[in-house]
Structure 1
Amino acid sequence: MPDQENLDFSTILATSAHDMKNSLFMVLQSIEVLGSAENLTDEQHKSFADLHYQTSRVNSTLMQLLALYRAENKQLPIYIDEHYVNDIFTEVIDKNQSYLDHHDIQIEIDVDDQLMGYFDFDLITYLIADIFVNALRHAQKIIYLRAFIDDGYLNIQVEDDGVGYPEHMLAVSNNNQSEFNANKGRSGLGLLFAKRIVAEHKNKQL
């Protein structure tokens, strides 16, 4: 009997995540359509907004897994060009407008309309969106979006008035994937993803 072909679990996981991501995209579109119906009560609109938010979080995790897999295998496409930073904030807010409409969270933006930077627009927008979604989850009343040039570097900040990251999650940013502790309920995958994407953006090795 011939030897069974060895299975690469990481490849299987990445392929499955890609398929699930495509399906979730269709689900998110359907939720947006259903949630925009005019015959819904305020409570029903809020329920659809919450459902859209939670589905987006699942989709975000799948995107992170795919990006990390591709980065690990040197397959993550990076397209660096000059972009307006405010376009990122606009897109992030638009994608979460339904949730914002039904929750008492204020958004304050501090960015020059003409501020530009060199980065992969899709990856950085997705990264900021992931941080923003996390801020929505933990903010009490307000989220700040700021961007400015500091010592020659583009600095983009997302800040909320929640309790902040616990120490074990902050430690993940200085460790590798083996340091994750799933028993704590927060793996730190988002921080690892953020660190990897930012590391792909360099100027003269900085």
Structure 2
Amino acid sequence: MKNNIELDFSTILATSAHDMKNSLFMLLQSIEQLNLSDNLTTQQHQSIADLHYQTSRINGSLMQLLSLYREEHNQLPFYIEENSVSEMLQEVIDRNQLFLNSHHVKVKIDVDDDLTAFFDQDLVTYLIADIFVNALRHTQSIVTLRAYADQEYVNIQVEDDGEGYPEHMLAINEQHESEFNAFKGRSGLGLLFAHKIAAAHKTNELQGHIILENKQNSDGSVFTLRLP
């Protein structure tokens, strides 16, 4: 007699994503060690940097899939506490330093060293790092990380000088959570992740949210995370 086993594909996917993420973390460490070799040419360093960059993107996507699965099943823990915004932004840069060392992209930080906000350190760092990685892909010459307090919110921005967001992505600013579409345009999964993580940060009647904009007088886009 055959047993009928009902497979939960989403659980299988989440388990596989967790295992792959652990393997990719070890791979990233190996790539970083390889880059320390003394006998590499400039071209080899750049190739290693590109490999590290692409591996980091895959690792980030798997982390987002796993987090979204846990959030849907009410299993995603949030540890919201007061953190330094400048230290968080510096960590985002440090994670991508290998790529920055091998490519001609400038990074500017515009934030008060004393600025703090209440947020989940790991999840918000992953969120901003994903937006930063996409900005590196699309920018022409410079990416700016900016943060400032504005009334009852702390705004954390990633700005580039690329081609800007397409219209269908700008439309998410007007969408309700139930209408949010994760499968359109560049970085759809990343934007859904950003939307969910932002909304999980609440204070009294205020809720975190994201805003996508294109610059008015020049090329480029601006991503804003607003935390209460």
Which residue is equivalent to 1:109? 109
Alignment partner of 1:4: what SS? coil
> What amino acid is the match of 2:183?
F
Superposition deviation, residue 187 in structure 1: 6.0
Kindly provide the CA deviation profile for residues 24-66 of structure 1, in whole angstroms up to 9, marking residues without a partner as x: 0011111111112121000000000000000000011101100
TM-score by length of 2: 0.84
Q: Please, which runs of 5 or more residues in structure 2 have no aligned partner?
A: 207-228
CA distance in 1, matches of 2:205, 2:64: 24
Q: Which has the higher strand share?
A: 2
Which residue is equivalent to 2:21? 21
Q: Please, which runs of 5 or more residues in structure 1 have no aligned partner?
A: none
**Are 1:180 and 2:183 matched, yes or no?**
yes
Which residue is equivalent to 1:31? 31
Identity %: 64
**Are 1:139 and 2:143 matched, yes or no?**
no
Which residue is equivalent to 2:218? none
Greater shift in the superposed pair: 19-28 or 158-167: 158-167
In the TM superposition, what are the counterparts of 1:3-152 in structure 2 within 5 Å? 3-152=3-152
Alignment partner of 2:28: what SS? helix
Superposition deviation, residue 168 in structure 1: 3.0
Alignment partner of 2:78: what SS? coil
CA contact (8 A) 2:92 2:129 kept: yes
Over aligned residue pairs, what C-alpha RMSD do you find?
A: 1.5
Superposition deviation, residue 170 in structure 1: 3.6
Q: Which has the higher helix share?
A: 1
CA distance in 2, matches of 1:25, 1:134: 20
CA distance in 1, matches of 2:205, 2:188: 26
TM-score by length of 1: 0.93
**Are 1:166 and 2:170 matched, yes or no?**
no
Which residue is equivalent to 1:192? 192
Superposition deviation, residue 204 in structure 1: 0.8
